[in-house]
Amino acid sequence: MRIVVWVMAGVFVQQLAASSGALTATQPAPATKASLDFEYFKTQVQPVFLTKRTGYTRCVVCHTGPGEAGFLQTLSPGATSWTEEQSRKNFEAVSRLVVPGQPMKSRLLTHPLEPAAGGDEFHNGGRQFTSQDDPQFRAIAAWVTGKTAGGSEK
């Protein structure tokens, strides 16, 4: 009985290996991965985190400091924007929340987006974006897809 089970398992593994190899061979090569532009982030994306939206708190209020939700640098007292060094740290942290080239697989975009528009179900800060047509949503999506400060795509 044990031998039969082992033989069947071996046959199954061989078939699985053969079929996955066939699938791999027929799948198209992945598209070139978009790269994220720091200057575009600093001038177009980062200001979104400071913007007050009617009925919502600014992203920077909840997403600074320690903890899982804190991915932005704390603004210096009295400052209305981040320093160059803080912006670079923000860029590194926020870059981990996106899948370059795939805005709708990026938590930075899906988390604050209304579920009916393609967002996920939960965000303590409310639905900052009710639609994928929101100009600030589109600015972040453009960065994720590789738009640069010069206007081109990487």
Average pLDDT, stretch 91-112? 95
Asked whether residue 106 is domain-assigned, the answer is: yes
Q: Is residue 25 part of a domain?
A: no
How many structural domains compose the chain? 1
Put simply, whether the predicted model's pTM sits higher than 0.85 gets the answer no
Which 3 state secondary structure label does DSSP give 72? strand
pLDDT in tens, 43-82: 999 999 999 888 888 889 889 988 778 899 999 999 999 9
H helix runs in 27-120, sequence order: 38-40, 59-62, 84-95, 107-110
Task: Give the domain extent around 111.
Answer: 38-144
Q: What pLDDT does 122 receive?
A: 75
How far apart are alpha carbons 115 and 39 in whole angstroms?
A: 30
Confidence of residue 140 (pLDDT cuts 50, 70, 90): very high
